Amino acid sequence: MSQTLVLNATYEPLGVVSDRRALLLVLNNRAISVEDSDSVFHFTGGELAVPAIIRLTKFVRIPYRHAIPLTRRALFARDGGRCVYCSAPAASIDHVLPRSRGGGHHWENVVSACHRCNHVKADKTLKELGWKLRIVPREPVGAAWRILGSGRTEPKWLTYLEPYGGASLNAVAASA
């Protein structure tokens, strides 16, 4: 079963729901289908195109959410799918200050790295190796990052997610 992107009445991304839930929202006039997916729902009276993106008919006020979950997918999206040390395609995650030396598992200490750099760095600090980071790791901001960390991202969604998440969303589309 695939998923559907849910937009607020103002086109701000809110989350992801199942296709079944999206169809129920559209049929109950609580949402409008913005774009349809390639799949079709068949029933005895006919068939309906399953929406890929829906927009709620009424504005929903969302309380402020504090931290964005640190997931592998969101981390690769933040770093553009590249190693922060050598710009090769990233395949693993690395702690800038190794956990064995007191480094934490948080956005400012975790980066994406290629296998070679991750193996060479091991439990050493950047100062010991004489390496520098291409980017300063920071926690991403924006509503789109919550959706990115939740799992699969459809290419059709990028148009609606980009204004809320930055240019690095293209790296997610390439990895999906």
| Span 20-29, pLDDT tens digits | 999 999 999 9
The CA distance from 115 to 88, in Å, is 9
The CA distance from 129 to 81, in Å, is 23
Same domain, 57 and 82: no
Domain that holds residue 35: 3-61+142-175
Same domain, 48 and 98: no
Same domain, 56 and 106: no
* Cβ partners under 8 Å of residue 131, min gap 6: 85, 121
Q: What is the pLDDT of residue 152?
A: 65
Over residues 68-73, the mean pLDDT reads 84
Q: What is the pLDDT of residue 97?
A: 95
Same domain, 76 and 124: yes
15-19: long-range contacts (C-beta < 8 A, 24 or more apart)?
Answer: 15/146, 15/147, 15/150, 16/147, 16/150, 16/151, 19/50, 19/51
Assigned domain for 117 exists: yes
Q: What is the pLDDT of residue 166?
A: 42
Same domain, 85 and 37: no
Same domain, 78 and 105: yes
Assigned domain for 122 exists: yes
Assigned domain for 116 exists: yes
Q: What is the pLDDT of residue 73?
A: 83
Assigned domain for 76 exists: yes
Assigned domain for 134 exists: no
Q: What is the pLDDT of residue 165?
A: 58
Same domain, 50 and 16: yes
The CA distance from 95 to 106, in Å, is 9
Assigned domain for 15 exists: yes
Assigned domain for 66 exists: no
pLDDT in tens, 127-172: 999 999 988 999 887 767 667 655 567 778 878 877 665 445 555 4
Q: What is the pLDDT of residue 74?
A: 83
Same domain, 53 and 94: no
Same domain, 124 and 77: yes
Assigned domain for 135 exists: no
Same domain, 47 and 76: no
Res. 64: pLDDT tops 80? no
Instruction: Tally the domains of the chain.
Output: 2
* Cβ partners under 8 Å of residue 90, min gap 6: 76, 79, 81, 82, 83, 112, 113, 114
